[in-house]
Amino acid sequence: MLSRLTSCLLACSFFAFSSCTVQADDVIYDVVINQGHVIDPETQLDAVRNIGITGNRISVVSEAPLTGRKTINAAGLIVGPGFVDLHVHAINVPSFWMQAFDGVTTALELEAGAFPIKKAYSHAASLRLPLNYGFAASWASARVSVADNIGVDAFDGTFETAAKFFGKPNWSQLLSPEKSADVVRLVEQELLDGGLGIGVVTGYAPATNREEFVALGNLAAKYNVATFNHLRTKNTEEPDGAVEGFLEAIAVAAATGSHVHICHINSTALRKIVDVIPMIEKAQGVKLKITTEAYPWGAGSTVIGTPFLKPEQLPRLNITSSDIMYLKTGERVSSNERLAEIQRTDPSGTAVIHYLDENVPEQMALIDDAMLFKDTVFASDAMPFQIGGKIVSEEVWPIPEAAYSHPRSAATFTLALARYVRDTGKISLNEMFRRASLLPANIVAEASPAARLKGRIQPGMDADIIMFDLDKIVPRATYLNPRLPSEGMVNVMVQGEMVIENGQLNKDVRPGQPLMSDLTKK
The residue type found at 456 is R
HEC sequence for 181-234: HHHHHHHHHHHHCCCCCEEECHHHCCCCCHHHHHHHHHHHHHHCCEEEECCCCC
DSSP 476-512: ---SS-TTPPPB-EEEEEETTEEEEETTEE-TT----
Quick one: pLDDT band at residue 522, thresholds 50, 70, 90?
A: low
Is pLDDT of 342 > 50? yes
- pLDDT band for position 3 (cuts 50, 70, 90): very low
Identify the CATH class of 4-81+455-505: mainly beta
In terms of C-beta density within 10 A (0-12 exposed, 13-18 middle, 19 or more buried), how is residue 364 classed? middle
CATH fold match for the domains 4-81+455-505 and 83-447: no
Q: Which pLDDT does position 243 carry in this prediction? A: 97
Kindly report the average pLDDT of the chain as a whole number: 94
Cis ω for the linkage preceding 311 (within 30 of 0): no
pLDDT tens for 450-460 read 999 999 999 99
Query: Looking at domain 83-447, does it have CATH number 3.40.109.10?
Result: no
Residue 14's nearest CA partner among 437, 438, 460 is: 460
Work out the percent of the chain whose per-residue pLDDT is above 90. 92
| Cβ atoms of residues 465 and 80 within 8 Å | yes
Q: Give tens-digit pLDDT for 248-258.
A: 999 999 999 99
156, 114 contact by CB (below 8 A): no
Per-residue confidence band for 438, with pLDDT thresholds at 50, 70 and 90:
very high
pLDDT class for 418, splitting at 50, 70, 90? Answer: very high
- Asked if 435 contacts 378 with a C-beta cutoff of 8 angstroms, the reply is yes
What are the pLDDT digits (tens) for 162-213? 988 998 999 999 999 999 999 999 999 999 999 999 999 999 999 999 999 9
Mean pLDDT, residues 294-312: 96
Residue 9 has a pLDDT of: 42
Question: Rounded mean pLDDT of 51-68?
Answer: 97
Closest listed residue to residue 473, CA positions, set 434, 417, 412: 417
Q: pLDDT per residue over 5-47, tens digit each?
A: 443 444 344 333 334 434 445 799 999 999 999 999 999 999 9
Contact yes or no for 373/277 (Cβ under 8 A): yes
Instruction: Determine the average pLDDT of the residues in 368-375.
Output: 98
CB 472 within 8 A of CB 489: no
Domain residue limits, the chain: 4-81+455-505, 83-447
Question: Which pTM does this prediction carry?
Answer: 0.94
Mean pLDDT of 342-350: 93
Residue 364 has pLDDT above 50, yes or no: yes
Q: Is the pLDDT of residue 68 over 60?
A: yes
Q: What is the pLDDT of residue 26?
A: 78
What pLDDT score was predicted for residue 23? Answer: 43
Amino acid at 114: A
Phi, psi of 392 (to 5 degrees): -80, 100
Better-predicted residue by pLDDT, 160 or 214: 214
pLDDT tens per residue, range 108-164: 999 999 999 999 999 999 999 999 999 999 999 999 999 999 999 999 999 999 988
What is the end-to-end Cα distance of the chain in Å, rounded? 38
Tell me, what's the pLDDT at 223?
97
pLDDT at position 325 over 60: yes
Backbone angles phi, psi at 499, to 5 degrees: -75, -40
